[in-house]
Amino acid sequence: MVDIRYRPYGVLCHEYWILSSRVASKRALRRAVLPVPWRDFDPIRFHANTPYLCSHQLPMAESACTSIYTISRGLTLKRSMRTILPVNSQSNDTDTMTLPTPLQEPARLQGYYFSQEFRIKNLGDALGAVVVNALGYQLVAPDNTAEKVCNPGRCLLPIGSTLDSSFIRPRLKRVDQRLDFWGCGWRGNWLDAELLEKVRIHAVRGPITHRRFNLESDVPLGDPGLLVPWLCEIVPNEHGRTIIIPHFKRTYNLSAPERCARTGCDLLLPTQVQFEDAPNVQRKVRSRLETMYGRTLLSIDSPTLEEAVAQIAGASFILTGSLHGAILAQAYGVPWAAYYDGYVDTLPKWYDFAAYLGIDLDFVRNRVEGERWWATYGRFGKIRDLRPLLAAFPHEIRSEVGQRLLGQSLPLAMAG
């Protein structure tokens, strides 16, 4: 009476569901923890980040509920959409579940992004892992020797203002590795001579970084965060309100109501987001403490990464101290302005992105000033063709959506 079938479909999804221990039961999709590790689950070998279409035939009804799910590493199902479809088949007397052979398990790449080891991560940096996942790979921390990787001896840095020795050396213990930078930006400092010998730059965020490192003209420009709307099926939360996004280091300086009152925005979105990157999360205690700390000081909970992106995509205006708040807003066509509350993190990265868009940048203190700047300057910013950035990814693109985007006949560009 309940017919559940799975087939590969989709890319990235939202709501969390957990498989029960009896897959072929009516409670196959109830909220319950599987009592065995995902690798030991038998007879079906589910694969992390593999999308499936789940169709539930409703008993005594001429319709079916269809949802798209993705199975994560902890056998968590993420649901992205739900539709009602007519069916003509009759219900079976017994519950059934049929699954084809799942897609191959995502290849693993050694890579690093800021806050990788925490469950509570910085939104902008975690986007690097999301984009890499959407291209068919899973990032594994460079010091994680338990996982077999397809880029041994190398480390991919897929996002962020990381082209700086003072950033790399304290965070990467094994500086003997070759470093692949893709879509990263300049922080205002330099890579020392020893690191420069080990670096290959495949793409950079903007023209300032390009000039500072004297790169060849064929090295493409663009931030991987701009690819999120094209690679990830995150449905915008069409709330239509204005959002203030403080910088990661300034989130807890003021409560959400106080910061909203000062800036004239409707709601605060912290850049501290929940994102389960299972192979790399090592500091769960700190993550739990930070979750409670944020809830106490901000009066709001930390959103999941998908929820944060959906809120930005559905806003009417974004006032942001986080560069990737601006990058996501630009990618989804949402008006934005750079926020100054007495602190700006790494001015060069802001001017680099503004130069990429072809606009003059000013920092503002509130929504009214921000909307004025947007109307005068910001709305003229343009995203360039993103296919060269995608093609410059230093490994073979394994996902269908990535390969399809590379073959698009129209430029992957979106006006601000």
Query: What is the residue extent of each domain of the chain?
Result: 3-98, 107-227, 231-380
Q: What pLDDT, in 10s, does the model give residues 267-303?
A: 999 999 988 765 555 554 445 445 544 455 555 678 9
User: Across 10-14, 40-44, 362-366, which has the greatest mean pLDDT?
Assistant: 362-366
Residues of the chain above pLDDT 70, percent: 66
Tokens 């929940």 belong to which residue?
Answer: 274
CATH number of 231-380: 3.40.50
Write out pLDDT tens, residues 239-272. Answer: 999 999 999 999 988 989 999 999 999 999 999 9
pLDDT at 140 over 50: yes
Q: Distance between CA 350 and CA 206 in Å, rounded?
A: 10
Contact by Cβ (8 Å): 265, 243: yes
Confidence band for 38, pLDDT divided at 50, 70 and 90: very low
Confidence tier at 51 by pLDDT (50, 70, 90): very low
What are 62's two structure tokens? Answer: 């001429």
pLDDT of residue 277: 65
The per-residue pLDDT for 278 is: 54
Residue 212 predicted with pLDDT over 70: yes
Residue 159's alpha-carbon distances to 31, 223, 303, 334, in angstroms, are 34, 7, 21, 21
Residue 129's Cβ-side half-sphere holds a number of Cα atoms within 13 Å equal to 30
* DSSP for 341-365, written as a single string: SS--S-HHHHHHHHHHHT----EES
End-to-end CA distance of the chain: give it in Å, rounded. Answer: 50
- Output the pLDDT for position 59: 33
Residue 81: name the closest of 107, 48, 47, 53 by CA.
53
Query: Is the alpha carbon torsion for 83, 89, 91, 97 positive or negative?
Result: negative
Query: How many alpha carbons lie under 13 Å from residue 368 in its C-beta half-sphere?
Result: 4
Question: What pLDDT, on the 0 to 100 scale, is given for residue 302?
Answer: 83
Residue 309 to residues 48, 235, 302, 314, 405: CA-CA distances in angstroms? 22, 9, 13, 9, 21
If pLDDT is split at 50, 70 and 90, which confidence band does 53 have?
very low
> Of 339, 314, 330, whose CA–CA distance to 245 is shortest?
339
**CA 254 → CA 147, 247, 263, 288, 298, distances in Å?**
41, 12, 12, 20, 7
Q: In this predicted structure, what is the pLDDT of residue 252?
A: 86
β-sheet bridge partners, residue 317: 242
Any residues with CB less than 8 A from the CB of 263 and at least 6 apart, and which?
244, 319, 339, 365, 366, 367
Mean pLDDT across 368-388: 97
**Cis peptide bond upstream of 43, omega within 30:** yes
What is the rounded distance in angstroms from the CA atom of residue 301 to the CA atom of residue 298?
Answer: 8
User: Residue 358 region, left (φ>0) first, then alpha (ψ -120 to 50), else beta?
Assistant: left
- The region of weakest confidence among 48-57, 78-87, 106-115, 152-161 is 78-87
d(CA 63, CA 85): 5
Residue among 366, 345, 352 at smallest CA distance from 222: 352
Angle of helix 323-331 relative to helix 347-357, nearest 10 degrees? 20
Distance CA(40)–CA(46), nearest Å, equals 10
Q: What is the DSSP string of 351-401?
A: HHHHHHHT----EESSHHHHHHHHHHTGGG-BPPP-HHHHHT-SS---SHH
**Which one, of 341, 116, 329, lies nearest residue 250 by Cα?**
341
pLDDT score for 143: 76
Alpha helix positions (H), 108-171: 123-134, 165-171
Q: Which residues contact 309 (CB under 8 A, 6 or more apart)?
A: 123, 228, 232, 234, 328
User: What distance in Å separates the CA atoms of residue 87 and residue 368, rounded to the nearest whole number?
Assistant: 52
Q: Express each pLDDT in 108-131 by its tens digit.
A: 999 999 888 888 899 999 999 999
Q: How confident is the model at residue 388 (pLDDT cuts 50, 70, 90)?
A: very high
